[in-house]
């Protein structure tokens, strides 16, 4: 067993119900980890006294958070990050889709899979719902790399049968056959799971969505993900292509694709009825703030989602999003709500941490396993230890309290400040460095 000694911040309860009190702070805490699971938790002195002789890892020179959960990120778009200045459909044509066609080559796909998984780890993301590739071999390469590194990844073959460049298209029959083969190989293997993934209904015919429904119905633990209500031009085109659908969400819902196992990305421009349907179904929305800003998609109506009772988590949406860090996504979510003035939701530090961790775990049906650092949960954790002398390092030495420390981490933290990442108790980045004892969270 290993006893981690740290200041621990997490949000096991919901800040949208409990307010700032939802932030749980353990100053000089102890987390005892056995076989990757948190076996005991409390003040370090108490846990150490109850479990003498255990190996102690001293993490007091930083702050320990739960591993981040990214509910929307595109594997084949790592090298497309940074395509600024275009709305969604132009960006797809000029940046994303040309890059995605290159993944037809297995060697290229393996290289990108390495870069992608590494990007997640460096950002402190331990669990992700990943938009895969249109090519089965590339999806296979992603699962293999995620398995090698040990991340919790839910992903699948992206399918489309219209509008996109020809090399990215398939048929409903081939989509079903390839999806089934990938599902049988990878779903339930270690920490990997399968997600049925039509790119968006704009690029998916009714027979293709039927094929998706057939694959989804084959198992009760397979996930569903796609895009929804991201951009006004996209929404108009979907309305034209699905004249029988009441709204964008209905293009999925009438095929049985909106369930508690569905995560729909963006939803920047929902109707009231769509929010009702999402809430009733128990489906979740992946809010992708840097992407929404970079593409000019719009300002996310968070309050409307909360009022309707729709579950919301965070997604980086790499490569329209501007990087893998959910700290940056949290800060951008905060900015957007500020800009909405009285219509915005005040996202305090506890809400940001919940969005980046427990909300995501719940959206992915993994709330019993990950998302916070309670006893019985997997030890999926991130040690934020700022680069010595960096502004984050300086300001974290003088926080007013735990909420203030967390605000500083969301404001200034980058992947460069993520020192160690654990999944199920195993470090998936460099080992902790010996550090001098000090308590950075003690009030100044």
Residues at the interface with ligand GUN (CB under 6 A): 74, 88, 92, 96, 199-200, 227, 230, 291, 317, 320
Binds 230, which of ligand GUN, Zn ion, none (CB < 5 to 8 A, cut-off by type)?
Answer: ligand GUN
Binds 275, which of ligand GUN, Zn ion, none (CB < 5 to 8 A, cut-off by type)?
Answer: none
The dihedral sign for the CA sequence 100, 103, 104, 108: positive
Minimum Å gap between C-beta 226 and ligand GUN is: 8
Cβ-based nearer residue to ligand GUN, 203 or 357 = 203
Tell whether residue 329 is a contact of Zn ion (CB under 5 A).
no
Minimum Å gap between C-beta 200 and ligand GUN is: 4
Binds 41, which of ligand GUN, Zn ion, none (CB < 5 to 8 A, cut-off by type)?
Answer: none
Binds 155, which of Zn ion, ligand GUN, none (CB < 5 to 8 A, cut-off by type)?
Answer: none
Minimum Å gap between C-beta 325 and Zn ion is: 17
Minimum Å gap between C-beta 101 and Zn ion is: 17
Angle at 299 between CA 298 and CA 301, to 5 degrees: 125
Binds 200, which of Zn ion, ligand GUN, none (CB < 5 to 8 A, cut-off by type)?
Answer: ligand GUN
Q: How far apart are CA 105 and CA 231, in angstroms?
A: 31
Residues 6+ away with beta carbon under 8 Å from 8 = 24, 25, 26, 29, 31, 41, 63, 64, 65, 373
* Strand 418-423, strand 381-384: pairing: antiparallel
Binding mask 210-249 for Zn ion (x = CB under 5 A): ----------------------------------------
Q: How far apart are CA 314 and CA 363, in angstroms?
A: 10
Cβ-based nearer residue to ligand GUN, 131 or 334 = 131
Minimum Å gap between C-beta 325 and ligand GUN is: 17
Residues 6+ away with beta carbon under 8 Å from 86 = 94, 95, 295
Q: Are 327 and 118 in contact (CB under 8 A)?
A: no
* Strand 125-131, strand 68-74: pairing: parallel
Binds 354, which of ligand GUN, Zn ion, none (CB < 5 to 8 A, cut-off by type)?
Answer: none
Minimum Å gap between C-beta 97 and ligand GUN is: 8
Cβ-based nearer residue to ligand GUN, 227 or 328 = 227
Cβ-based nearer residue to ligand GUN, 317 or 380 = 317
Tell whether residue 161 is a contact of Zn ion (CB under 5 A).
no
Cβ-based nearer residue to Zn ion, 265 or 277 = 265
Cβ-based nearer residue to ligand GUN, 230 or 372 = 230
Measured between its terminal Cα atoms, the distance across the chain in Å is: 34
> In terms of C-beta density within 10 A (0-12 exposed, 13-18 middle, 19 or more buried), how is residue 173 classed?
exposed
Cβ-based nearer residue to ligand GUN, 295 or 381 = 295
User: Residue-wise over 128-165: b if at least 16 C-beta within 10 A, else e?
Assistant: bbbbbbbbbebbbbbbbbbbebbbbbbbbbbbbbebbe
Binds 88, which of Zn ion, ligand GUN, none (CB < 5 to 8 A, cut-off by type)?
Answer: ligand GUN
Cβ-based nearer residue to ligand GUN, 262 or 291 = 291
Cβ-based nearer residue to ligand GUN, 227 or 287 = 227
Minimum Å gap between C-beta 79 and ligand GUN is: 13
Tell whether residue 317 is a contact of Zn ion (CB under 5 A).
yes
Minimum Å gap between C-beta 228 and ligand GUN is: 9
Q: Which of residues 254-273 bind Zn ion (CB under 5 A)?
A: 265
Q: Which stretch binds Zn ion (CB under 5 A): 179-187, 256-264, 313-321, 333-341?
A: 313-321
Q: Which stretch binds Zn ion (CB under 5 A): 119-127, 149-157, 275-283, 315-323?
A: 315-323
Q: How far apart are CA 214 and CA 295, in angstroms?
A: 33
User: Which residues are registered as beta bridge partners of 26?
Assistant: 8
Cβ-based nearer residue to ligand GUN, 10 or 230 = 230
Minimum Å gap between C-beta 74 and Zn ion is: 6
Q: How far apart are CA 340 and CA 300, in angstroms?
A: 9
Q: Which residues bind Zn ion (CB under 5 A)?
A: 265, 317
């Amino acid at each position: 067993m290993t006893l981690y000694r740290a200041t621990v911040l997490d949000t096991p309860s919901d800040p949208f119900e409990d307010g700032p009190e939802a932030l749980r702070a353990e100053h000089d805490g102890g987390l005892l980890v056995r076989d990757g699971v948190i076996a005991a938790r409390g003040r370090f002195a108490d846990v150490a006294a109850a479990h003498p002789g255990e190996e102690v890892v001293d993490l007091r020179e930083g702050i320990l958070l739960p591993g981040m959960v990214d509910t929307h990120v595109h594997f084949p778009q790592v090298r497309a990050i940074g395509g600024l200045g275009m709305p969604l459909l132009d960006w797809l044509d000029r940046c994303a889709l040309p890059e995605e066609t290159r993944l037809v080559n297995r060697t290229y796909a393996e290289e990108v899979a390495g870069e992608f998984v590494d990007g997640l780890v460096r950002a402190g993301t331990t669990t992700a719902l990943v938009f895969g590739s249109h090519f089965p071999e590339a999806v296979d390469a992603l699962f293999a790399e995620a398995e090698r590194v040990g991340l919790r990844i839910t992903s699948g073959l992206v399918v489309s049968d219209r509008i996109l460049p020809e090399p990215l298209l398939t048929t409903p029959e081939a989509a079903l056959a390839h999806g089934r083969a990938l599902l049988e190989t990878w779903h339930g293997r270690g920490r990997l799971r399968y997600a049925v993934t039509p790119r968006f209904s704009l690029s998916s015919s009714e027979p293709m969505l039927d094929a998706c429904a057939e694959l989804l119905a084959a198992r009760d633990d397979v996930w569903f993900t796609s895009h929804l209500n991201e951009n006004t031009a996209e929404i108009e085109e979907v309305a034209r292509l699905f004249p029988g659908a009441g709204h964008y969400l209905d293009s999925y819902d009438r095929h049985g694709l909106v369930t508690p196992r569905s995560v729909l990305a963006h939803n920047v421009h929902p109707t009231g009825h769509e929010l009702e349907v999402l809430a009733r179904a128990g489906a979740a929305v992946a809010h992708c703030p840097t992407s929404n800003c970079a593409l000019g998609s719009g300002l996310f109506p968070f309050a409307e989602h909360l009022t309707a009772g729709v579950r919301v988590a965070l997604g980086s949406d790499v490569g329209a999003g501007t990087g893998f860090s959910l700290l940056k996504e949290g800060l951008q979510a905060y900015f957007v709500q500020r800009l909405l003035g009285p219509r915005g939701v005040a996202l305090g530090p506890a809400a940001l941490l919940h969005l980046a961790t427990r909300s995501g775990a719940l959206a992915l049906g993994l709330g019993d396993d990950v998302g916070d650092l309670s006893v019985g949960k997997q030890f999926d954790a991130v040690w934020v230890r700022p680069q010595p002398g960096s502004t984050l390092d300086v300001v974290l030495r003088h926080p007013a309290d735990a909420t203030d420390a967390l605000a500083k981490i969301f404001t200034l933290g980058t992947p460069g400040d993520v020192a160690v990442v654990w999944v199920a108790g195993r470090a998936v980045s460099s080992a902790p460095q010996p550090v001098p004892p000090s308590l950075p969270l003690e009030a100044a």
